[in-house]
Amino acid sequence: MRGRGRWRGVLAAAVVVLLAVALTGAGVSPVSFPATAAADPTTPAASAAPGSTTVDALATAVAEAQAAAEAEAAGEVAASVEAVTSAVGAVDAIAVEAGVWVGVAVLDRVTGEIAVGAEGAKPIAAASLTKLYTVVDVLTRAAAGQIALTEADQRLILRALTASDDGAMNALWSRFGGSATVAGAIAVAGLRDSRPPSDPSQWGEAVVSARDLVALYDYVLTHMKAADRDLVMGALTASPDVAADGFHQDFGLFAPPRRPGVAAKQGWMWWGPTFYLHSAGTLGPDGRYVVAIESTSRSSAVGRATVNRAAAAATLALP
């Protein structure tokens, strides 16, 4: 998780500024000394004695700057905890009210704070979210020189992510190792709850948790090569409202009116009498927040309405 180190840079800059101010206040001019004086090794150098007014003032100013920076950092962390906790709590409340199973997790990538809902660590069938796992593994292996991708492979990746094209996913699944692609993504991203499908021919039956989904996005945004990261996130941002199979994927994080810059992978399928509907992606400035919402229900209409409400409530809780 990223973001905490920036306060050291703020403090260092403050120290430089305060040092300049302190020296100016002590009567030390920023202009250069005459060349003869600067070159004369016998000329004694002026120095501030320990305990002098200038040194004491500088030490006090530095301490105050450090305290201010630490207070600001602590304030941001506290606000972040409140935001992600409120977002998850709102989704859990909607799930209880609707009588629908919902797993949720929210990550603030700036502070590293994460909140996991009551069901957020439970793995369930991923449906088309498996496509993100497979693409992450394929791109990671290609970046390491383990496999070579053709232009046709790149087109399949884009189709699998944007239009959620099952035909494109079938081709990637067959060409790059099937269940091994899910296992590969789990390994590189350090996921805890996900597993490949028990039937290797059914990629939609891989199981993933909301907690793992936010961790997978964090891996994409933090550890993947810039070109691969941009390919994945650009494709998800450009996902059309209607998928390749005709399903309307403008739900959850993509519910109209779609917020600018939102990137998400949507998932849906019927498995027996259960309808699986998932929405997982990023929102906010520079994808600051990662939100993953998974659901199961006995009605596609109820599932869509619940996930829409859940995504809206989570988004509203995040600044």
Q: What is the pLDDT of residues 167-190, one digit of tens each?
A: 999 999 999 999 999 999 999 999
pLDDT of residue 76: 67
pLDDT band at 31 (very low <50, low <70, confident <90, very high): very low
Mean pLDDT for the chain overall: 87
Q: Which residue has the tokens 């399903």?
A: 247
The answer, yes or no, to whether residue 78 has pLDDT greater than 90, is no
In a domain, 12, yes or no: no
Nearest-angstrom CA–CA distance, 65 and 268: 51
pLDDT band at 50 (very low <50, low <70, confident <90, very high): low
Is residue 216 within 8 Å of residue 291, measured between CB atoms?
A: no
pLDDT of residue 5: 47
How far from chain centre, in Å, is Cα 225? 15
Q: Which residue has the higher pLDDT, 319 or 96?
A: 96
pLDDT of residue 17: 44
Average pLDDT over residues 210-239: 98
In a domain, 310, yes or no: yes
- State both tokens at 296: 């199961």
pLDDT band at 16 (very low <50, low <70, confident <90, very high): very low
CATH number at residue 269: 3.40.710.10
In a domain, 60, yes or no: no
Residue 129 DSSP class: G
In a domain, 73, yes or no: no
State the DSSP string of 239-297: --SB-TTS-B---GGGPSSPPTT-EEEEEEEEETTEEEEEEEEEESGGG-EEEEEEEEE
pLDDT tens-place string over residues 255-304: 999 999 999 999 999 999 999 999 999 999 999 999 999 999 999 999 99
**For the whole prediction, is pTM greater than 0.85?**
no
Task: Provide the domain limits for residue 154.
Answer: 82-317
pLDDT band at 63 (very low <50, low <70, confident <90, very high): confident
pLDDT of residue 11: 46
- State both tokens at 116: 């996991």
Average pLDDT over residues 28-56: 51
In a domain, 43, yes or no: no
In a domain, 312, yes or no: yes
pLDDT band at 26 (very low <50, low <70, confident <90, very high): very low
Q: Which residue has the higher pLDDT, 105 or 64?
A: 105
In a domain, 7, yes or no: no
Say how many domains are in the chain.
1
Q: How many CA atoms does the CB half-sphere of 18 hold within 13 Å?
A: 19
pLDDT band at 83 (very low <50, low <70, confident <90, very high): very high
pLDDT band at 13 (very low <50, low <70, confident <90, very high): low
The answer, yes or no, to whether residue 36 has pLDDT greater than 60, is no
Average pLDDT over residues 135-164: 98
**154 three-class SS:** helix
Average pLDDT over residues 211-222: 98
The answer, yes or no, to whether residue 41 has pLDDT greater than 90, is no
pLDDT of residue 32: 43
Nearest-angstrom CA–CA distance, 190 and 18: 43
In a domain, 167, yes or no: yes
Closest CA to 120 of 215, 220, 2: 215
Q: Any residues with CB less than 8 A from the CB of 3 and at least 6 apart, and which? A: 108, 109, 110, 111, 112
